[in-house]
Amino acid sequence: MRVVVTQAPPRAQAWACSLTQAGHEVLLLPLLEVCALPDAAPLQHAWSALPGYDALVFVSPAAVSHFFAARPADACGEWGASGKPGVWVTGPGTRSAALQHGVTPDCIAAPTAAPYDSERLWQVVAPTVRPGMRVLIVRGMDDAQQRGNDMDSDSELHRKTDRAMSHDMGNGREWLAQRVRECAGQVEIVAAYRRCAPHWSPHERECAQTASRDGAVWLLGSAMAIDHLHALLPHTDWTASNAVVTHPRLADAARRLGFGNLHTSDADISSVCATLYAVRPF
């Protein structure tokens, strides 16, 4: 089966390797780019204030990697051995990234089953939240946030996808923050990286057009990626196209774009491979 991997590098390469080992032909067409922020001062401040936090929330593997990329040279090694705050993560990929950066398993709180989102994470951490608890949420910043959100407001698809994206990228985080505040906790938010639209070459655009009609399966992991796909190929007919999405809310966004064949999977690579196997051929 031909599979279009749309994650940002370097995560896309890891997915491509796993899918190739599972016997699939892989086409890399990133729908997101993850970039460093131009100003690292807020991250550096977060590291200096780290002893004052009770928990850090990482919303993605990219949040973990960019947060730890700003780690001061004199910071202690293993996270758990230094009495640092607990770590809350929304899914297995983010948990794996935290472990790779020295956070010990006993420090991590994570959902144990899908859907891997803020609501499921709250079920895990709610019993530990207490009045006065300080929580830092580490997330990404959208390009639109930096340029004043100048997206085409006349597009009904953009408006609807923005709302899905808001829940996917923003409201889930805000929902979790509100739950903490309702328990008299204190929440701060710091951006660790920037999410940008990709810049496709003419060859990539041609490959994408072909993949929209040749039976390839698109892996779609965020509403922002779906919105970028619409912006890159605004006149493409997706009614005969196939997609696997990693959250039920994303199915609605993909359906609005026009994808005719949709399946939902958990977000880990094993589940995606199982879904691809179960639904072949589309």
Q: Render pLDDT for 7-43 as a digit per residue (tens, 0 to 9).
A: 998 889 999 999 999 999 999 999 999 988 888 899 9
Give yes or no: residues 150 and 48 share one domain: yes
Whichever domain contains 218, its CATH number is 3.40.50.10090
Give yes or no: residues 118 and 88 share one domain: yes
Examine the pLDDT at 109 and tell me if it is beyond 50: yes
Examine the pLDDT at 151 and tell me if it is beyond 70: no
Give yes or no: residues 267 and 143 share one domain: no
Write down which residue in 168, 196, 224 finishes a domain.
196
User: How many structural domains is the chain composed of?
Assistant: 2
Give yes or no: residues 156 and 244 share one domain: no
Give yes or no: residues 39 and 138 share one domain: yes
Give yes or no: residues 106 and 25 share one domain: no
For the stretch 160-206, pLDDT in tens is 333 333 344 456 788 999 999 999 999 999 999 999 999 999 999 99
SS3 labels along the chain: CEEEECCCCCHHHHHHHHHHHCCCEEEECCCCEEECCCCCHHHHHHHHCHHHCCEEEECCHHHHHHHHHCCCCCCCCCCHHHCCCEEEECCHHHHHHHHHCCCCHHHEECCCCCCCCHHHHHHHHHHHCCCCCEEEEEEEEEHHHHCCCCCCCCCHHHHHHHHHHHHHHHHHHHHHHHHHHHCCCEEEEEEEEEEECCCCCHHHHHHHHHHCCCCCEEEECCHHHHHHHHHHCCCCCCCCCEEEECCHHHHHHHHHHCCCEEEECCCCHHHHHHHHHHHCCC
Write down which residue in 196, 221, 253 finishes a domain.
196
Give yes or no: residues 53 and 154 share one domain: yes
Give yes or no: residues 192 and 216 share one domain: no
| Residue 223 belongs to domain spanning | 2-32+197-279
Give yes or no: residues 190 and 87 share one domain: yes
